[in-house]
Amino acid sequence: MIFLDETAIEWIALGVIDRTLPKSDWTHGGHFAAALWLCRHRCDLTGSDAIRTLICRYNEATGTANTDMGGYHHTITLASMRAAADGLAGHSRDAPLHAVHSDLMASRYGRSDWLLAHWSHERLFSVAARRGWVEPDLAPLPF
């Protein structure tokens, strides 16, 4: 997903916050768009408990159950939030978010399997990793 302006990035984030974002737009790129916007504009929603609550409520509103097998995944969410924050830190404070997003998606984080360089499949997709933070078992995160 390519975002051409700030309005598109904001639309994704506000849609998650107010639970109106169509589920079809909650893609890998959409997740990072929301993460970048939240990191820049609503850091009060980026903490571990706050982001869990936000995404769980969004999932429930779109008919996605938060279970041990699907829905919210805490380790993936926190790792992705860290990647987004790192992406922002690599740009000036006033860099357009759509440009930051474009750079992030062109990096290894743009691949939906980037986490498997750090976690084994079994560990990343365990119930423990879905429910809480689980440290990587293959390689530390670079940030």
Quick check: 29 and 105 in contact, CB under 8 A?
Answer: yes
Nearest one of 24, 25, 17 to 8, comparing CA atoms? 25
Quick check: 54 and 37 in contact, CB under 8 A?
Answer: no
Quickly list DSSP for 104-130: HHHSGGGSTTGGGGTS-HHHHTSHHHH
Quick check: 134 and 75 in contact, CB under 8 A?
Answer: yes
pLDDT at residue 140, as a whole number: 97
Residues 6+ apart with CB under 8 A from 104: 32, 36, 83, 84, 87, 110
pLDDT averaged per 10 residues in sequence order, the chain, 143 residues = 93 98 97 98 98 98 97 98 96 96 96 97 98 98 92
pLDDT at residue 2, as a whole number: 86
SS3 label, residue 25? helix
- pTM value is 0.96
Q: Classify residue 86 by its DSSP letter.
A: H
